[in-house]
């Protein structure tokens, strides 16, 4: 509560200071704060004004001091380590200088609940800048504003993401001109790929950039089935088009025309798209497939702007700006993946948290302004940035381990089921031996096991390991190699060494383990890494039971014949 009172008091003080009752020195120092205070709103769920200038100055002094200490003759650090630190320090300082981060005089942000619209907020963020900032970062979004309402009207009803921004990447090339070496390297790289220096290349793609993603209700994030994409940007001279057209030729089945390229099918990569590349009137268009062209050409198709949800987002936003961004329904594309990781109920709960937002970007005489309407306020965004996103990143990082661990547990369960299933098979072999003077079936492999089927001692399902996708034979006559998960060693009898193997798992049934039926009727699990063939299983058994030389030689001969028969060499 105290923090809240102090925050409101600080906001009130800012507004009071904006009224002009202070000395001229204080007025000049407070000017960036006044600019930020005028652009944001008080009395909501979030209010913050910050000044990063001292931080940047301190960082600059820190890096300068670090460079001096590293260059000291008393430094005990290895020379190569010192050079790397000096290079990093120089690059870091140069990057923020070129970007213009140190020109940022104040940042302001606020969130206010929208009256009569439950769960919706108006979020504002403002960056106070000099009237003519020099950093390329502030020039990337241009300096003007344009009408945006017609662009809102063009969005299809099932849009899940859209961005339409004025971008001027040419300012990066102009900033790099201050650095002769870096500028030359950029020109050389651009010339080798696009056959033009860097500045003309970036000038050619400066202007209005657009991205549109739509999705059907049953869209798949795995195959991209039902998801459509459009990317369009300026391409003066068609340099980017020609480069991408050359890349497209690497995809088999690509068809090229003068100003159009249709990529070959991407189904070999598990993707349903067949992208198209168009060049028309100085603009480059990339579509996910012909389906997207047909979809956009349908003038009677429903529009997002006609939905009540979008109208609530758009109401009250600025009419013009340097561009806009819309997002909504993105988590719905991942519902199957989320369900597999977290369960259907948790996936549905996550989908309810999906951020719906429409943001307008504006250039103002004193800085950069964004105004958005969203179901998240900036408190929630800040929490997501500080806690939720790192947590998701951690889950993403460990998910391969979790998947592997789950697969390992599943395999352990399958091993146990397999071992239990081998008990009836061991009993069937005992019954057969009792009826045939102590002899087990003489033939090797599936022929010996088929003998048990023909004698009616086991059912075909008993020869299928639970850890495999093998299918049981419908009857004894149709029993083949495809209906058997086990390997049989024939020719033994009850008087043979009780620890000789009669039946073993097909070597790939389980990860790093093999179940075995021995002559004495016992079933054992061998923890064996990479049991790739029968000979490896026999060698492992020999290390455990120390067979006589004739026994081991006989087993290896049987194993080699089975490996050859089943192509396990």
Residue 117 pLDDT greater than 50, yes or no: yes
- Helices 534-545 and 549-565: crossing angle in degrees, nearest 10, is 160
What's the confidence (pLDDT) of residue 26?
Answer: 46
What's the confidence (pLDDT) of residue 1?
Answer: 30
Residue 3 pLDDT greater than 70, yes or no: no
The tens digit of pLDDT for each residue in 546-563 reads: 899 999 999 999 888 888
Q: Measure the CA–CA gap between 255 and 371, rounded to whole angstroms.
A: 44
442 or 354, which is more confident? 442
What's the confidence (pLDDT) of residue 242?
Answer: 92
Q: Measure the CA–CA gap between 204 and 169, rounded to whole angstroms.
A: 9
Residue 137 pLDDT greater than 60, yes or no: yes
Q: Measure the CA–CA gap between 114 and 315, rounded to whole angstroms.
A: 10
Model confidence at 429, pLDDT cuts 50, 70, 90, reads very high
What's the confidence (pLDDT) of residue 19?
Answer: 33
Query: Within 13 Å, how many C-alpha atoms sit on residue 156's CB side?
Result: 24
What's the confidence (pLDDT) of residue 331?
Answer: 61
The tens digit of pLDDT for each residue in 200-215 reads: 999 999 999 999 999 8
Query: CA torsion 16→22→27→32, rounded to 10°?
Result: -20
Task: Note the helical H segments in 40-100.
Answer: 53-71, 79-99
| Best-predicted range by mean pLDDT (86-90, 131-135, 182-186, 284-288) | 284-288
Which of left, alpha, beta for 43 (phi over 0: left; psi -120 to 50: alpha)?
left
CB contact at 8 A, 144 and 132 = no
Residue 17 pLDDT greater than 50, yes or no: no
| CA distance to 3, 25, 37, 382, per residue, from 10 (Å) | 10, 20, 11, 20
Q: Measure the CA–CA gap between 546 and 407, rounded to whole angstroms.
A: 34
């Amino acid at each position: 509560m105290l923090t809240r009172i102090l925050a409101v008091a600080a906001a009130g003080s800012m507004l009071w200071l904006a009224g002009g009752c202070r000395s001229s020195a204080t007025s000049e120092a407070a000017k960036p704060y006044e600019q930020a205070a005028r652009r944001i709103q008080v009395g909501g769920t979030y209010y913050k004004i910050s000044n990063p200038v001292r931080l940047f100055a301190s960082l600059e002094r820190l890096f300068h001091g670090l460079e001096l200490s590293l260059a000291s003759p008393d430094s005990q650090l290895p020379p190569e380590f010192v050079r790397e630190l000096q290079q990093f320090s120089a690059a870091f300082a140069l990057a923020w200088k070129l970007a213009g981060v140190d020109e940022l005089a104040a940042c302001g942000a606020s969130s206010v609940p929208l009256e009569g619209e439950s769960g919706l907020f108006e979020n504002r963020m403002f960056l106070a800048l000099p009237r003519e900032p020099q950093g390329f970062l502030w020039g990337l979004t241009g300096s003007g504003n344009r009408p945006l309402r017609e662009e809102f009207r063009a969005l299809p009803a099932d849009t899940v993401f859209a961005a339409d921004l004025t971008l001027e990447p040419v300012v990066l090339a102009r900033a790099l001109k201050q650095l002769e070496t870096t500028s030359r390297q950029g020109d050389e790289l651009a010339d080798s790929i696009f056959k033009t220096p860097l500045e003309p290349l970036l000038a050619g793609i400066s202007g209005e950039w657009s991205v549109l993603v739509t999705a059907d209700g049953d869209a798949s994030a795995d195959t991209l089935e039902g998801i459509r994409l459009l990317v369009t940007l300026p391409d003066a001279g068609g340099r980017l088009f020609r480069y991408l057209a050359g890349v497209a030729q690497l995809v088999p089945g690509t068809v090229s025309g003068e100003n159009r390229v249709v990529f070959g099918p991407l189904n070999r990569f598990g993707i349903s798209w067949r992208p198209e590349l168009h060049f028309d009137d100085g603009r480059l268009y990339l579509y996910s497939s012909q389906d997207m062209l047909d979809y956009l050409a349908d003038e009677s198709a429903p529009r997002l702007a006609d939905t009540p949800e979008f109208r609530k987002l758009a109401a009250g936003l600025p009419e013009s700006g340097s561009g806009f961004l819309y997002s909504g329904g993105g988590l719905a594309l991942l519902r199957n993946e989320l369900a597999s990781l977290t369960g259907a109920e948790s996936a549905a709960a996550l989908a309810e948290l999906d951020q719906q937002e429409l943001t307008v970007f504006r250039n103002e005489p004193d800085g950069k302004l964004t105004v958005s309407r969203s179901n998240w306020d900036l408190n929630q965004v800040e929490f997501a940035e500080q806690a939720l996103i790192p947590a998701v990143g951690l889950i993403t990082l460990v998910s391969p381990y979790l998947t592997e661990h789950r697969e390992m547990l599943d395999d352990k369960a399958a091993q146990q089921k397999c071992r239990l299933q081998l008990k009836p098979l061991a009993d069937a072999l005992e019954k057969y031996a009792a009826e045939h003077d102590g002899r087990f079936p003489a033939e090797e492999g599936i022929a010996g096991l088929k003998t048990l089927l023909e004698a009616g001692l086991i059912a075909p399902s008993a020869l299928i390991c639970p850890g495999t996708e093998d299918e049981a034979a419908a009857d004894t006559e149709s029993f083949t190699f495809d209906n058997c998960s086990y390997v049989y060693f024939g020719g033994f009898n009850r008087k043979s060494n009780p620890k000789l193997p009669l039946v073993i798992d097909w070597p790939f049934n389980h990860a790093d383990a093999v179940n075995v039926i021995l002559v004495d009727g016992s079933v054992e699990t061998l923890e064996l890494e990479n049991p790739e063939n029968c000979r490896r299983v026999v060698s492992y058994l020999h290390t455990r039971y120390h067979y006589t030389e004739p026994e081991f030689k006989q087993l290896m001969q049987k194993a080699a014949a089975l490996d050859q028969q089943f192509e396990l060499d």
